[in-house]
Amino acid sequence: MTAAPSSSPSESAPPPVVRRADVLISGGGPAGATAAAHLAAAGLDVVVLEKTAHPREKVCGDGLTPQAVRELQLLGVPHRGEPGDDGGWQVIRGLRLRAGERSVDVPWPETRSWPDYALTRTRRDFDALLADLARERGAEVRERHAVTSVVRDDAGRVCGLDAELIAPNGRKTGETARFEAPVVLSCDGVSARAAVSAGIHRREDRPMGVAVRAYYTAGPAADGAVPAPPGDRGEWMESWLRLPDAQGRPLPGYGWLFPLADGTVNVGLGILDTSPQFGKLDYRGLLKSWSGALTPDWGISEQTRVSKILGAALPMAFNRTPQHVPGMLLVGDAAGMVSPFNGEGIGFAMEAARIAADLAVQAHAAGSDAAADAVLSRYPVITQHLWGRHFALGARFARLIGDPRVMRASLGAGMAVPPLLRAVVKVMGNTVDPERGDAVDRAVRVLEAITPALTTADSAPLGRLAR
């Protein structure tokens, strides 16, 4: 089949085809770069189109859960004193949960499936490291190429991408280019340009969140002492579960402090759209106010902030479907692969990218477009099997804690019973052992087994979950 312009016949002629590849990837973040690294290692010709240039800022907590760490291990990225470790990683033992005056430390569980530690690293460094890894393995990463639309062949199958070229100053150059491949991966984050241009839009029946964050250095504590850099505190991701609004009422979200290897701290907060106050809050003002509560034991305040406060949306619980259309798969944030439990998406994005890359390799060897799509169609089945029930439980959790009364009761019960919190952390962190494990793992597997999975198709079995 010949490629057909995605624009209408009355519009200008399509841009020239400048490159043909085995696989095209829209987006060079963790999903796109991970997929590219796996594909290049398998010997495929892969091109990544990234609208910005590395290194660049991304709004994120900079935390890599054990799920993400496992993907780093599978990629062969040195990070824990291994040969080649550049020292930019901070090893995290577990979560330190805070609610008012109460604090409970919950180490990452030991399982057969997951590492028993997490990591932190700024997305500025992390994304550039993964992009460099993809290049080293043979992938072509074209920066400052902003994808505008998919290209379809005469049969309507996605077979390429159109892109605008961006100047180093961030402005459009007016130049466009077309890239073609029999397999396209939409890994372009919450904007999901490739997916949207293909007519795949966000689902309103799945939860959404918003997060804001900034970087801080430790300053003098309330008693005048200077808090020690990382040390014990640097070994924990700290989560504040009681995040008050202006009237002191708990919000359906949480605050975080994620220490980094250079001694700075990523401080942020996330809010779910199940709150009636969603969209009405001054999130940046809330972060500024909350940072003042961190002065006594962290020495953090507005005076120690060293970056702008930036915000971004969190697309959750498979909120863009279908994940497969002929010729294309949706991966990571583009498919809404963010957990409603904790707003974490990097681990899901990297694991999904590995799965998509493996299927793309098989599709490449299939011999025809129809056979390739028969292979690619397995992707949403696999992701639903892996995370459909986890996301379904998370979506219900998001709806429940939208009620302040439920939030207060949950915090009161949970903080008083540390073993319960350890079970909750296993669920929220997606570190339940899928095969063996302890009594908690077995209980969660039973709970998930009786929970209808969130589908990756276009139906919505749980009904309207968002406000």
* Per-residue tokens: 198: 């293909």
Helices 66-75 & 30-41, crossing angle to 10 degrees? 30
pLDDT band of 188, cuts 50, 70, 90: very high
Report how far Cα 268 is from the mean position of its chain's Cα atoms: 15
pLDDT at 290 over 70: yes
Please report the DSSP string for 13-38 in residue order: PPPPEEEE-SEEEE--SHHHHHHHHH
Q: Are 461 and 321 in contact (CB under 8 A)?
A: no
Q: What percent of the chain has pLDDT over 90?
A: 49
The reported pLDDT for the residue numbered 69 is: 95
The residue type of 46 is: V
DSSP for residue 256: E
Q: Minimal CA–CA distance to 51: which of 151, 159, 193, 184?
A: 193
What gap in Å lies between CA 65 and CA 390, rounded to an integer? 16
Q: What percent of the chain has pLDDT over 70?
A: 76
The reported pLDDT for the residue numbered 53 is: 95
pLDDT at 200 over 90: yes
pLDDT at 20 over 90: yes
Mean pLDDT of 168-178: 92
Q: How many residues comprise the chain?
A: 467
Q: What's the pLDDT tens digit per position in 324-368?
A: 999 999 999 999 999 888 888 999 999 999 999 999 999 999 989
The reported pLDDT for the residue numbered 145 is: 97
Mean pLDDT of 141-150: 97
Signed CA dihedral, 299, 302, 305, 311: sign only: positive
The reported pLDDT for the residue numbered 98 is: 81
Mean pLDDT of 233-262: 77
pLDDT at 305 over 60: yes
130 or 432, greater pLDDT: 130
Mean pLDDT of 177-184: 97
Q: What's the pLDDT tens digit per position in 418-466?
A: 566 666 666 666 666 666 666 665 666 655 665 566 666 554 333 332 2
What's the chain's average pLDDT?
83
pLDDT band of 7, cuts 50, 70, 90: very low
Give the torsion through C-alpha atoms of 451, 452, 455, 460, to 10 deg: -120
Q: Please, which residues bridge with residue 298 across strands?
A: none
- pTM of the full structure: 0.87
The reported pLDDT for the residue numbered 441 is: 59
Q: Minimal CA–CA distance to 447: which of 461, 432, 425, 431?
A: 432
Query: Beta 183-186 vs 23-26: how paired, if at all?
Result: parallel
pLDDT at 237 over 80: yes
* Per-residue tokens: 308: 């702008």
Q: Please, which residues bridge with residue 290 across strands?
A: none
The reported pLDDT for the residue numbered 1 is: 47
Mean pLDDT of 133-159: 96
Q: Which range is least confidently modeled, 13-22, 311-320, 343-352, 421-430?
A: 421-430
pLDDT band of 131, cuts 50, 70, 90: very high
Mean pLDDT of 28-34: 97
What gap in Å lies between CA 113 and CA 434, rounded to an integer? 7
pLDDT at 411 over 60: no
Q: Which range is least confidently modeled, 32-46, 131-145, 257-271?
A: 257-271
Q: Please, which residues bridge with residue 95 across strands?
A: 106, 237
pLDDT at 2 over 80: no
Please report the DSSP string for 374-430 in residue order: HHHTHHHHHHHHHHHHHHHHHHHHHHHTTSHHHHHHHHHHHHH-HHHHHHHHHHHTT
Which class is 17-92+122-205+316-393 in CATH? alpha beta
* Per-residue tokens: 135: 């290049």
